[in-house]
Amino acid sequence: MSSLSSAAGVGPSDLSPRLKLVNIVPTAALALLIATLLLAGTPQSAPSPDRFLANGRALGPGWLAALSVAITIWSIALQPFEMSLIRALEGYWPASRLFNEIGQRALWLQRRRHRALHHAAASELNAPQVTAARGVLAQWPKDEADVLPMALGNRLRAMERRGAAGYGMDAVRSFPRLYLALPASALVPLGQARDQLDAAVRFCFVFAVGSVVSAGLLVAHGWWLLLPLGLAVMSVASYRAALVAAVNYGALVSAAFNVYHLRLLDETGVLRPTDTAAARRAHVALEAMQTGDSTRSVRYAPK
């Protein structure tokens, strides 16, 4: 990306580490893959290093600068859609006949897996298997009705349902407020864990797109189809990495609620409760007020 400075007036120091990791690196990998295949002569013929070098020289050095600028602009433009990409891999899909059919089949498989884990966790025939099943089950929503069609969605929903419930809080609604009250010592590991999750999801998507595009370019070229196959394997591996990252991120979010839920009340100015029941009531009231419920009230700490 060194050509960005001269081509776009933007240097590497102007781009945040998160933007580089989560957006620019995966996008650059996909763009370079497609550009390399096209310059090497596909789809008309099998990729040729000589043809790649000849076409590259014919285009001149300017094409690298143009590609760098395009990658940067495209990465920045796609950044607001990160959440949509994660939600798609969680199992939140558009309402259509095709997606509904796929979703129902995927949901049936996930629920069957959920029931099998519950059965194994309740068994007393094999202690190691019971322990393993209970450990895996902790990464799933407790109720079958909350199960989603995708494993990533179930990892994150388990965190949403359990992470803050013990304190009378809804994790999805309360976490933005809690985040504002967290100290730097908590924000840094949370940010790193979230970056790992987002990067794994983006690479999963990039490898999948690269697999499809390269398969189209190489469909008539025999052993070259091993390339899209390898990219498909890497997409699956990235999804598996996203599952691990989701568990780690969920554990940190749950820990943040556990350690700092009283700090949230302090930052809000609410009188610090002296027992768990009072803390739950305060959090429930604050969440209701956040959604516009003017009938709830809390007691503020004296100045």
165: which DSSP letter? G
Q: Which amino acid is at 53?
A: L
pLDDT recorded at residue 16: 59
State the Cα–Cα distance between residues 175 and 39, nearest whole angstrom. 48
Q: Length of the chain in residues, anyone?
A: 303
CA 228 to chain CA centroid, Å, is 23
Q: Please, what is the angle between helix 62-78 and helix 25-39, to 10°?
A: 140
How many angstroms separate the Cα of 302 from the Cα of each of 195, 272, 299? Answer: 40, 11, 9
Taking a C-beta distance cutoff of 8 angstroms, is the pair 88, 208 a contact?
A: no
Phi, psi at 270, each rounded to 5°? -80, 145
pLDDT tens digit sequence for 189-233: 999 999 899 889 999 999 999 999 999 999 999 999 999 999 999
* Upper half-sphere CA count for residue 100 (Cβ side, 13 Å): 3
Q: What is the pLDDT of residue 7?
A: 31
**Nearest Cα to Cα of residue 133 among 113, 154, 153:** 113
d(CA 197, CA 207): 15
Radius of gyration of the chain (CA): 24
pLDDT of amino acid 11: 40
Looking at residue 239, what is its pLDDT?
A: 97
Divide the 303 residues of the chain into consecutive groups of 10 and give the mean pLDDT of each group: 33 52 81 92 93 89 84 81 88 90 95 92 78 89 94 93 88 92 94 91 94 96 95 97 95 94 95 93 93 91 84
Residues with Cβ within 8 Å of 192's Cβ and at least 6 positions away in sequence, in order, are none
The pLDDT tens digits of the residues spanning 40-77 come to 999 999 999 999 999 988 988 888 888 888 888 887 78
Res 48: pLDDT: 93
Of 119, 137, 121, nearest to 129 by C-alpha is 121
Q: How much is the pLDDT for 46?
A: 93
Query: Can you give the pLDDT at residue 9?
Result: 36
63: buried, middle or exposed (CB in 10 Å: 19+, 13-18, 0-12)?
middle
The candidate with the shortest Cα–Cα distance to 69, out of 120, 5, 17, is: 5
Domain layout of the chain by residue ranges: 4-92+148-290, 93-147
Say what the pLDDT of residue 237 is: 97
CA dihedral 42, 44, 49, 53 (to 10 degrees): -90
Handedness of CA 287, 292, 295, 297 (dihedral sign): positive
Question: What is the pLDDT, as a whole number, of residue 1?
Answer: 38
Alpha-carbon distances, residue 39 vs 25, 61, 132, 192, 254 (angstroms): 21, 14, 50, 37, 49
